[in-house]
Amino acid sequence: MCARFTLSKAEKDILAAYAAEMIDPFNADTNIAPTDGGLVIRADKTNEIHNYHFGLVPWHAADTKTDYKGVNARNDNLLKGQWKTIMEKGKRCLVIADGFYEWENVDGEKLPWRFTLDEREIFAFAGLYDTWVHPTTKEAYRSFAIITTEPNSLLEKYHNRMPVILSKEEEQLWIAKDLPLKELVELCDPFPVEQMKAYRVSKAVNSTRVKGALNKGPELILPANSA
C-alpha cells in the first residue's frame, strides 16, 4: 500500500519538471493522506495539472465516503472489475510526488521512513482517476488512486507492495492514447532499487493531525536525527 506521500516542492519547481499549466491551487504538502489533495496530469489533458482528492471514488459509488480500497490499485488487478473499466475509458494519470512514506515495525513501534529518487527531485506515480457526481447537486468529486506493484529489494523490508514509479519515458507512455492495455500494465513494475534512497524521519509523521490541525510541517521530511 502507498497511503502517504509528499510533494514538498514549490509550484515553480513542479512547473519546471512538467511542462503544463497549473489549473488548480496547490500548497506544498509533506503529508498527503487519503482525501487530501494531490496533483495529477490526466491522459486526456497532458498540458494541465489538476488538484484531485487522494483515494478514488468511482462513478458508481453511493457517496464520497472512501476507505483504503480506493487509495491504491494493484497492478495485477488492472484488467479486472472497475479498474479495467477505468483503464478502458483511458482515465490514467500521473500523480506528481517527491517522496513517499512506509513504516518499519520495530518491537511493536512504527518507525517511518521516507523514500525518494537519487537523480529526480520530482517524479510521478502511475495513477488512475475518476469523477463522482452528486445525484442531487450535480457537484463533481474528482479523485485518484496510486497503482502499486511488487516491492523492490529496498522496499520489501517495509511492505509487500510499493507504488509504481515511472521513468520519464514511461510517464509519456502511461498517458499515451494508443498503447494497448496489456502494454500499459507491463509498465507497472518495481522501480530500480539503485535509483532510490531512503532515510528515517520523525514519528510525528505517523499522525495526520496534531491537536485537531492538519499535520503538514516541513520538519516531517527531515532526517529523524535532525527533526
Active site residues: 2, 102
Neighbouring residues of 85: CB distance < 8 A, sequence distance ≥ 6: none
- Number of Cβ within a 10 Å radius of residue 141: 16
What residue type is assigned to position 136 of the chain?
T
CB 34 within 8 Å of CB 68: yes
CB 38 within 8 Å of CB 51: yes
Q: What are phi and psi of 53, to 5 degrees?
A: -75, 140
State the Cα–Cα distance between residues 144 and 20, nearest whole angstrom.
19
State the Cα–Cα distance between residues 99 and 7, nearest whole angstrom.
7
Distances (CA, A) of 50 to 41, 45, 128, 144: 6, 9, 13, 11
**Across the strands, what pairs with 113?**
102, 200
State the Cα–Cα distance between residues 123 and 203, nearest whole angstrom.
25
